[in-house]
Amino acid sequence: MKTNSKTSLFLMELIIVILFFSIASVVCVQLFVNAYSTNESTKRTTQGTVIVQGLAEQFLGCSGDLNAVSLLYDTDETYPETDTAKGIMVIGYDSDWLETSADKAPAYLANITVTDENGNALPEDAWSTGGTMMVAQIEVRDASSGEQITTQEVKHYVPYRLEETD
């Protein structure tokens, strides 16, 4: 009779150990899933920030001329939303963050919207007219959900130009 009680005690201990390891493994799996999810989100935010910063630098490097920025990309042919005369430019990126056309269903969209300092649309000659403060709102969104990944506002002042006199 003593051997029977020892066997049942051993089985009870074994069941408790298996239960403990099962709970510990579930917790570990959840930690790995959360870590993966956080990693993917961080990668997306980081790459979106790199794209936004690059577009901001190009905008400033082109002295606020959205036409000049659009020449660096093939946006006029692929994205009908792009209208540089109205201060709007759209660039699409695939899931690997490579530039892609609209017909290939981009995963991410980068938008540049240029307005004046009051948020009004700029006149077409704003890039050549002095005394204009241009504000470019640059953002990257997830194309499928519309979720904003990152955004940046860039300001560029077009100074008055001295005309040559004879």
Judge whether 21 lies within some domain.
yes
Judge whether 163 lies within some domain.
no
Judge whether 92 lies within some domain.
yes
CA 165 to chain centre: 48
Judge whether 166 lies within some domain.
no
Judge whether 164 lies within some domain.
no
Q: What's the predicted TM-score (pTM) here?
A: 0.76
For 90, residues 6+ apart whose C-beta sits below 8 A from its C-beta are 75, 79, 81, 82, 109, 110, 111, 112
pLDDT digits (tens, 9 = 90+) for 133-163: 889 999 999 999 999 999 999 998 888 766 6
User: Which secondary structure element, helix H or strand E, spans residue 49, and what is its range?
Assistant: helix 2-61
| Most confident region among 3-12, 24-33, 88-97 by mean pLDDT | 24-33
Residues 73, 74, 80, 86, CA torsion sign? positive
Number of residues assigned to the chain: 166
pLDDT band (50, 70, 90) for residue 166: very low
Mean pLDDT over 13-41 rounds to: 94
Q: How many domains does the chain have?
A: 1
Inter-CA distances, 65 with 87, 91, 95, Å: 9, 16, 29
pLDDT digits (tens, 9 = 90+) for 65-124: 888 888 888 655 567 788 877 888 999 999 999 988 888 889 999 999 999 888 888 776
Residue range(s) defining the domain that contains residue 110: 2-158
